[in-house]
Amino acid sequence: MTDETKKNGPDATAAENTAEAVASALEDAADRNAAETPASEAAQGPDPLEVLKNENAELRDRFLRLAAEMDNLRRRTERDVKDAKSYSVAGFARDMLAVSDNLRRALDAVPTETRATADATLSTLLEGVEMTERSMLSALERHGVKKIEAEGQKFDPNFHQAMFEIPDATVPNNTVVQVVQAGFTIGERVLRPAMVGVAKGGPKPDTPATEPAGEKNA
């Protein structure tokens, strides 16, 4: 207690105590406010700018995914339309090939000698059958159906169907030497494989001669 307080008596002492109490209360309030400030700011939620950035990134990702899906759908649609145009006549083409096969069999059934000595009526009939066959194959070719040129080619199971083997040493092994039934493609697909006979026992690649042991060591 100061000399001034002693001089002024009890009233001065009470006032001093009250001032100290008020100062202490203010300090406590300031400390509590400083401690509670971070929690108050956290209670306000995330930063709005960060929220907008996240939403923008999410929308951009969704847009890119949708654009990719639309591009894939467009390509699939174009491919389906192209396939529909190219292969819609496949069933009809097979039926027409069966008719063409019958025309060819009818022509092959007439011996060469008979053709040479045929009268005008038979010759005209044979020419009409040949023209019909050519016209049918030309019409099919305009719709993408093409004949597989198999004879003389190396056997390819993707385009040829082997029916038998023919011993022939004059051509390489597995060479198509006879076509029993012509094959055809439509677009990039095989409409009907060619039925063929393949050579067996033809020439094989030469094996390099081995050096005598003495010469190699020399």
Per-residue pLDDT at 184: 95
In the chain, where do the E strands start and end?
Answer: 145-148, 160-167, 176-181, 183-186, 189-192, 194-200
Per-residue pLDDT at 89: 81
Query: 93 exposed, middle or buried (CB, 10 Å; 0-12, 13-18, 19+)?
Result: buried
Q: With contact defined as beta carbons under 8 Å apart, do 136 and 170 qualify?
A: no
Q: pTM of the prediction?
A: 0.56
Task: Give me the residues paired with residue 189 across strands.
Answer: 186
Per-residue pLDDT at 72: 92
Per-residue pLDDT at 212: 47
Q: To the nearest 10°, the Cα dihedral for 98, 101, 105, 107?
A: 120
pLDDT in tens, the chain (218 residues): 555 544 555 555 655 666 666 556 656 655 555 555 555 455 566 788 888 888 888 899 998 999 999 999 999 988 888 777 777 788 889 999 999 999 999 998 999 888 888 888 989 999 999 999 999 999 999 888 999 999 999 999 999 999 999 998 888 999 999 999 999 999 889 999 999 999 987 776 454 444 444 444 43
Per-residue pLDDT at 211: 47
C-alpha dist (Å) from residue 156 to 133, 162, 169, 205: 27, 9, 20, 19
Query: 101 exposed, middle or buried (CB, 10 Å; 0-12, 13-18, 19+)?
Result: middle
Q: To the nearest 10°, the Cα dihedral for 94, 97, 102, 107?
A: -170
3-state secondary structure (DSSP) of residue 195: strand
